[in-house]
Chains A and B, each alone.
Chain A
Amino acid sequence: GQNIDQPTEMTATEGAIVQINCTYQTSGFNGLFWYQQHAGEAPTFLSYNVLDGLEEKGRFSSFLSRSKGYSYLLLKELQMKDSASYLCAVRDSNYQLIWGAGTKLIIKP
């Protein structure tokens, strides 16, 4: 079967750095996406990785290791508005997205 694993919840302090991990086992791999979802709102796109390595976008970076079936999202200089759920999704061999259950990130002052 196909499986995406993420921690259910994480807590971090404003101004700090947090790393959210995602491991996956899917039938084929055609890219990995990270989305942010605030409570009661729609998911919004953050990043895309298809090759191994780090993609940096401002305060957010995403890393991929295809051989390990592993990705992480790194958030720097945390702000209160970063409190949200972070969703990892893998595009499988049928070009459909398989979604993790999401990691709820709580930012404390």
Chain B
Amino acid sequence: IAGITQAPTSQILAAGRRMTLRCTQDMRHNAMYWYRQDLGLGLRLIHYSNTAGTTGKGEVPDGYSVSRANTDDFPLTLASAVPSQTSVYFCASSEETGGNQPQHFGDGTRLSIL
């Protein structure tokens, strides 16, 4: 089934540790996104990529980095995790950045930083 796969599904991590959240899509979408979702707040964009080889900063990029080596994969790395990064992380993709193309979401990664 075509779609977006995120891994891991959930993780408990000690503060200060490095962590990479994986995201893979098989829809050949050009644009990909990482969001965090916290209770009472809307989805907030961390980083995005309009096409393979390019990345950009979203609303809350500090403490996170991304890479887009190919069309399918868009990993998110927390270099040194802090408790405020406890959240649900969603990866999304769309055919293009503009137009009427909706974003399609993965099932999310629930991350707890202790």
Contacts and interface: CB of A to CB of B under 8 A. Distances in A.
Give the bracket for the number of chain B residues in contact with chain A.
Answer: 20 to 34
Contacts, number: 45
A52 B23 CA distance: 36
A99 B42 CA distance: 5
Give the most central of B35, B43, B44, B103: most A CB within 10 Å. B43
A42 B43 CA distance: 11
A61 interface: no
A67 interface: no
Contacts of A31: 100
Interface of B: 35, 40-45, 48, 58, 90, 97-98, 100, 102-108
19 contacts: A33-B102, A41-B107, A42-B90, A42-B108, A43-B43, A43-B105, A45-B102, A45-B103, A45-B104, A48-B102, A87-B42, A87-B43, A89-B43, A91-B98, A95-B97, A96-B48, A97-B43, A99-B42, A99-B43
